[in-house]
Structure 1
Amino acid sequence: MLLARLAHIATGRSAKLLCKAPFNCAQGLWKSTLQAPKCKFPLRKPNRVLLQPKQRRNYSEEHGNRERSHLEQRTKTPTIKERLMAPPSENAYSMGKGAAAGAALMGIVALCYYGLGLANQPSIYDHSVMWPQYVRDRIHATYAYFGASCAVTAASAASVFQSEAMLNLIMRSGWMATLITMGLVMGTGALTQSLDYEPGLGMKQLAWAVHCAVMGAVIAPMCFMGGPVLVRALLYTTGIVGALSTVAACAPSERFLAIGGPLAIGLGVVFAASIANMWLPTTTAIGASLASLSLYGGLILFSGFLLYDTQRIVKAAESYPEHGYVRYDPINNALAIYMDALNIFIRIAIILSSGEQRKKK
């Protein structure tokens, strides 16, 4: 490069600086040098490209335009609001998926650890050997009501889905329909838990059946996802509930009772994200983040609640006296794990349905 540039300069300045003076000239080489401008070989001007005034103006204008465009790009940096309301990226749910995968891995490790009896403290399974018969009957009644709750909910969802009038009533949009739906769910649940439990068929059993039927009607539109998706979601939910119940039974009897406070805080966060997602659609970055938090965060949260509620049920069954003034309530305890399992099922079904839609695209 350096040699090429020197050759270019030498070519531009290759004019003869001296003319050929006659050898008989007495004035010598110095004088001939002074007289060089008078020779017939004039000096050659350097090969320079001079910018015309118009070209200089164009260059200055172009340079100014570049500076202005660069300044505009710097001043037009997206604001926080523009970033939050921008379309979501392709990996909007990656963090949620990673968190769910990490929680699943922790569950498998806990299942292996407690299942092999590596904990130093006695587990619920160890205590079950010394349970009196009434404690066993309480736990059996709790899980019987849990199974019956799932059956009533499934039957109600199928019946509402088959009725076009009921389905249109459930699928109505608007604030009034949302408030009525939430009022029915919360009202029937509160009524069921407020009534005293009595063995046999009574008001509490009737309120419990109505509450489960209302829950089935609310989730009836999920039948549009298709039978294969719902069957897979049911199988996955059964596996998760069974595995977590085994972890809770093999763990020390009060190990997961200490996580009630963090779970309550997490429930508030997930509930707030679900409510905010009603105003912010998933087509925006913040809407997709809230949907991911509600979906995958809720899946992790209710899995933790299942561990907590399982050990709480066993603790309550052991603590209440056999002939005490306050009876052990299997319906209220069954509703706790029923709501955990139902929330897990809903989120797994949504995840599977979203995966099927992406495959079709």
Structure 2
Amino acid sequence: MNVFDRSINFDALFKFSHISASTQEHLKRVYGSFAICMFVAAAGAYINVVTHLFQFGLLTGLGALGLMVWLTATPHSRETEQKRLGMLVGFAFLTGINLGPLLQMCISINPSIIPTAFLGTATIFACFSLSALYARRRSYLYLGGFLLSGLTLLLLSTLINAFVRSTWLFTANLYVALMVMCGFVLFDTQLIIEKAESGDKDYIWHCVDLFLDFVNIFRELLMILGMSENKKKEKK
């Protein structure tokens, strides 16, 4: 028998037998909306970097928060679907604009940081998402408590560091935050599946969960790579 003469069944590779057909359709809508959010956020970030209109991001940050609250308060239905999609697009655009100052800082240090951070984020997000999709249902939901505890510790350490101003603590927070956000990709993906299996088909809000996970990972990687590049320049 020729061990090299084997064909790969790609249909089986992308078949999620443990997920119902209706939930698979729901996930297609979620990731389709996610792709739109990524494109709109990239446009917002590009506009801010080129025009320098929003340097501090207070108004755009409040606008993004307001749209998220409005989206939460608007029930999911066929009548409100287009309206809520508009809110989602606006939220993604303002989120991209808010990344502008951080992107400008990275450009001033080394422009290659941005594509490196984006490719790293895309790879991390894809790997953890696929892990959650292929894993046994509810196998990662236990992470919820640990992740919330991690966020609480990060908040406390950030408040402490506001007074201590420790570079070491700031750097440690970045790496811990990155690990927590990776965990949230696993948790949120499986939580979306369980909600969909239970009848919750609000793909717009589920898209927000994954979009925020991606943006937070991207932000952490930008800061980690920026600090690393700064240290290299200081040594020179």
TM score, norm. by length of structure 2: 0.82
Does residue 136 (structure 1) correspond to residue 136 (structure 2)? The answer is no
Contact 1:157 1:219 in 2 (8 A): yes
Q: Is the 8 A contact 1:156 1:217 kept in 2?
A: yes
Quick one: percent identity of the two aligned structures?
A: 23
Cα shift at 1:288: 2.2
Matched residues in 2 for 1:273 and 1:352: separation? 21
Deviation of the 1:182 alpha carbon: 5.1
C-alpha distance in structure 1 between counterparts of 2:49 and 2:179, whole Å: 29
Distance in 1 (CA, whole Å) between partners of 2:214 and 2:75 is 24
Listed as ranges, the gaps of 5+ residues in structure 2 are 1-14
- Per the TM alignment, residue 154 of structure 1 is displaced from its structure 2 partner at its CA by 1.0
Residues 342/167 of structure 1: CA separation in 2 closer, same or farther (3 Å cut): same
Residue 126 of structure 2 is matched in structure 1 by: 242
Render the CA deviation track for 1:75-107: whole Å, top value 9, x for unaligned: xxxxxxxxxxxxxxxxxxxxxxxxxxxxxxxxx
| Aligned equivalent of 1:348 | 221
> Which 10-residue stretch deviates more, 198-207 or 213-222?
198-207
- The answer for the alignment partner of 1:213 in structure 2 is 93
State the AA in 2 paired with 1:135.
Answer: T
The higher relative CO (CA closer than 8 Å, separation ≥ 6) is in 2
Letter in 1 for 2:73: S
Query: Would the aligned equivalents of 2:56 and 2:101 in 1 still touch at CA under 8 Å?
Result: no
Give the whole-Å Cα distance in 2 for the aligned partners of 1:307 and 1:355: 27
Kept after mapping to 2: 8 A contact 1:192/1:211 = no
Partner of 1:151: 39
1:223 to 83, 88, 103: 103
Cα distance in 1 between the residues matched to 2:158 and 2:212: 16
Question: Counterparts in 2 of 1:1-361, with a 5 A limit?
Answer: 125-128=16-19, 131-132=20-21, 134-164=22-52, 166-170=53-57, 177=58, 183-199=62-78, 202-224=82-104, 225-226=106-107, 227-281=111-165, 287-320=166-199, 328-361=201-234
TM-score (norm 1): 0.55
Distance 1:183 1:169 in 2: 12
Letter in 1 for 2:202: D
The alignment partner of 1:152 has SS state of helix
Offset of 1:267 from its aligned partner? 1.3
| CA positional deviation for 1:247 | 1.4
Aligned mates of 2:212, 2:119 — CA distance in 1: 17
Aligned length: 215
The 1:211/1:271 distance shift into structure 2, 3 A limit, reads farther
Pairwise CA distance, 1:217: 1.4
Deviation at 1:161, TM superposition (A): 1.6
- Give secondary structure in 2 for the equivalent of 1:202: helix
More helix by share: 2
Quote the offset at 1:278 in angstroms: 4.2
Q: Which range moves more in the overlay, 182-191 or 330-339?
A: 182-191
Distance 1:191 1:272 in 2: 29
Structure 2: distance between partners of 1:185 and 1:336: 14
SS in 1 for 2:112: helix
Q: In 2, distance between residues paired with 1:267 and 1:216?
A: 23
Shift in Å, 1:347:
0.8
Please give the root-mean-square deviation of Cα atoms over the aligned residues, in Å.
2.2
- After superposition, the C-alpha distances for 1:14-47 in whole angstroms (9 at most, x for unaligned) are xxxxxxxxxxxxxxxxxxxxxxxxxxxxxxxxxx
**Letter aligned with residue 304 of structure 1:** G
Secondary structure of the structure 2 residue equivalent to 1:256: coil
- Cα distance, 1:169 vs structure 2: 4.9
CA 1:188–1:279 in 2, change beyond 3 Å: closer, same or farther?
farther
Deviation sequence 1:295-321 (CA, Å, 0-9, x none): 01100101111100011111122221x
